[in-house]
Amino acid sequence: MVDKEKALKNITRIKEKIAKSPGVRFRPHFKTHQSAQIGEWFREMGVSAITVSSVDMALFFAQHGWTDITISILVNPLEIEPIILLAETVDLNLLVDSAESTAFLAQHLTPKLTKSVKVWIKIDTGYHRTGIEYGRTAEILSTAKEIKKSRGLHFQGLLTHSGHSYKAKSPGELTAIYNDTVTKMTVVREYLRENGVTGVEISIGDTPTCSAVDTFYGVDEVRCGNFVFYDVMQMAIGSCKEEDIAAAVACPVIACYPQRNEIVIYGGAVHLSKEFITDEKGRKIYGLAALPNESSPRWGPSLNDTYVSALSQEHGIIRTTEAFSRRVRVGDIVMILPVHSCLAADLMRHNLLPTNYTN
């Protein structure tokens, strides 16, 4: 279930913040909502360029009229045919982190195209997932030169994702990660400039740091995406408040066990994922529980001492108070605020914008 009013507020907040930073483009990541309809909310606010996390997602949004798309996963050689199709129909941005990947594109992609493709070098500034480590400047330079000499490839710049921001514990830590990321990327860009590679742009994109900072200095593009819904993890980090969370999973109660202060919902790992946070008491929390409302906001505040404590494939166990476990009935709906809204939205596949989803 999506609370449109909250989602629109979240989009507006980030877009206006970026607008206050001269020369910075907003290229939101659509992997969170994966929705053509929600995509239109962005388009109505003037957004024309987007980020996606897969070739399939790029094809989906291209079919819905988006013509400027960055695929923010490294090029997969086994998907070269759909990449060629996309490159002919949209303004496509691709990621590489080696001269070898660049050579592959030059050999298999560019001979079949009538226009150029923009290529970014993925830089690792601390997340250690993918990308060339920022200190390996000679390797970055050789990759940039390989791109620039390849007909049909245009070297656009340096791109990073500070995924380690999800381990931060406070807004202050998030701001520090943003500053560190921009410093490292700026050092790399300056190294390239000193070695004859100019016009290099910097693209960043993680919701925690983008929510924490006031201005986006030192970058050319911002690609955050989770902010459209936010979630319990973002709340725990400090990048949003609970009232900003704009998506929840409506789960039916299928069993009540007041003798152990638990209820069971039809809503398991295949609906919510197995992402969790650990609270200050050391408890693993797979989601927070709230009750639905007939009017906006679509659900109330999370219930005290009530959370998803365990998940199996289809079942979710909610640990709660004795009072609530005796109050709730089989067939009632409980709204689960997801720990990671990107995964929950992907697993559920459909978003609903109901006017009334209580009985």
The pLDDT tens digits for 194-238 are 999 999 999 999 999 999 999 999 999 999 999 999 999 999 999
| C-alpha span between 57 and 63 (Å, rounded) | 10
Structure tokens at 151: 């007909």
Per-residue pLDDT of 252-294, as tens digits, reads: 999 999 999 999 999 999 999 999 999 999 999 999 999 998 7
The per-residue pLDDT for 297 is 75
Give pLDDT, residue 354.
Answer: 61
* Spatial CB neighbours of 272, under 8 Å, sequence gap ≥ 6: 249, 286, 287, 308, 311, 316, 336, 338, 339, 343, 344, 347
pLDDT at 353: 74
User: What is the reported pLDDT for 355?
Assistant: 55
This model's pTM is above 0.85: yes
List the domains of the chain with CATH numbers. Answer: 4-229 (3.20.20.10), 248-348 (2.40.37.20)
CB count in 10 Å sphere of residue 349: 7
pLDDT by residue for the chain (359 residues), tens only, comes to 999 999 999 999 999 999 999 999 999 999 999 999 999 999 999 999 999 999 999 999 999 999 999 999 999 999 999 999 999 999 999 999 999 999 999 999 988 888 899 999 999 999 999 999 999 999 999 999 999 999 899 999 999 999 999 999 899 999 999 999 999 999 999 999 999 999 999 999 999 999 999 999 999 999 999 999 999 999 999 999 999 999 999 999 999 999 999 999 999 999 999 999 999 999 999 999 999 987 767 899 999 999 999 999 999 999 999 999 999 999 999 999 999 999 999 998 787 776 544 33
CA torsion sign for 61, 66, 72, 74 is: positive
Burial degree of 278 (CB within 10 A; 0-12, 13-18, 19+): exposed
53: amino acid identity, one letter:
S
Q: How far is CA 53 from the centre of its chain?
A: 9
Q: What is the pLDDT of residue 133?
A: 98
pLDDT in the model for residue 359: 32
> Between the CA of residue 168 and those of 80, 315, 336, what are the distances in Å?
37, 30, 24
- Cβ distance 241 to 212 under 8 Å? no
What tokens appear for 348 in the block? Answer: 């559920």
Instruction: Please tell me the predicted confidence (pLDDT) of residue 356.
Output: 46
